């Protein structure tokens, strides 16, 4: 067993999803990398609207660093990651820990992340229906997580809108070709690179939103998982 740890935040639009929906994925990552995975059961909207999930995610990561010895891991090898809304939370943790002067992640893993709750991009129209995550879903999740629209431009909700993206940890970011969130992921990747952050952007042009949870499907999905786990093993083992 390696000394690294991935603190993982599940997707589900900050409204649905839990430890069980992503248990198979987290177990597969742990088994295929040899590192530990800490799956976080953050509070969900609408009962706990933004920025509750973000603050829970920050607290979970800082707790993991403080308890690294108890967890059997190296505090300098603790990463954050997540898919979709969980990718949003991982990006927020990476930004906020740096800006607040807290211990910051060794790495951020952003799987087809939601990073902007304000603007629409062409992929939202191209793939508005029929690709697991619909336009109606996006709006429903957004309205439950941020019932106060004035919060949506805040980087704690929309990390792509941070004025300063310098000094962030290395990033592994994936985008899916048939995903309404594709274009905001691409834009965030470019913004991270432009700010001088180490970036590994892996586009999966034939996959759709949510592919990481479809591990029983062979072919490109399994290849995407293997690429991710090889990267994590090299970075954190």
Q: Please measure the distance between the N-terminal and C-terminal CA atoms of the chain and give it in whole angstroms.
A: 8
Query: Looking at residue 7, what DSSP letter applies?
Result: E
Peptide bond into 68 cis (omega under 30): no
Are the C-beta atoms of residues 195 and 221 closer than 8 Å to each other? no
209: annotated active-site residue = yes
Integer Cα distance of 98 and 153 in angstroms: 19
From the candidates 116, 179, 183, 225, which is the catalytic residue?
Answer: 179
Are the C-beta atoms of residues 33 and 237 closer than 8 Å to each other? yes
- Report the interhelical angle of 220-236 vs 23-33 (nearest 10°): 60
Using the CB atoms, write b or e for 119-130: b if 16+ within 10 Å: eebebbeebeee
From the candidates 39, 84, 123, 158, which is the catalytic residue?
Answer: 84
225: annotated active-site residue = no
From the candidates 10, 22, 104, 209, which is the catalytic residue?
Answer: 209
Cβ neighbours, 10 Å, residue 165: 20
84: annotated active-site residue = yes
Which residues are catalytically annotated?
84, 179, 209
């Amino acid at each position: 067993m390696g000394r690294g740890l991935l603190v993982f935040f599940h997707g589900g639009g900050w409204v649905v999803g839990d430890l069980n929906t992503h248990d198979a994925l987290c177990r597969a990552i742990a088994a295929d990398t040899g590192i530990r995975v800490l799956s976080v059961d953050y509070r969900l909207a609408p009962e706990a609207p933004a920025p509750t999930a973000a603050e829970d995610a920050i607290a979970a990561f800082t707790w993991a660093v403080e308890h690294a010895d108890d967890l059997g891991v190296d505090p300098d090898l603790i990463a954050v990651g997540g898919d979709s809304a969980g990718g949003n939370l991982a990006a927020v943790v990476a930004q906020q820990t740096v800006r607040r002067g807290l211990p910051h992640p060794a790495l951020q893993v952003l799987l087809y992340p939601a990073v902007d709750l304000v603007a629409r991009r062409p992929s939202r129209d191209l793939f508005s229906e029929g690709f697991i995550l619909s336009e109606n879903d996006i709006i429903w999740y957004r309205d439950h997580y941020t019932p106060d629209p004035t919060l949506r431009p805040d980087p704690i909700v929309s990390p792509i809108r941070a004025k300063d993206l310098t000094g962030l940890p290395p990033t592994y970011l994936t985008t899916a070709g048939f995903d309404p969130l594709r274009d905001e992921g691409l834009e965030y990747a470019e913004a991270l690179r432009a700010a001088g952050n180490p970036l590994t952007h892996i586009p999966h042009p034939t996959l759709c939103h949510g592919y990481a949870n479809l591990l029983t499907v062979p072919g490109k999905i399994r290849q995407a998982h293997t690429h991710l786990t090889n990267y994590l093993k090299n970075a954190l083992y």
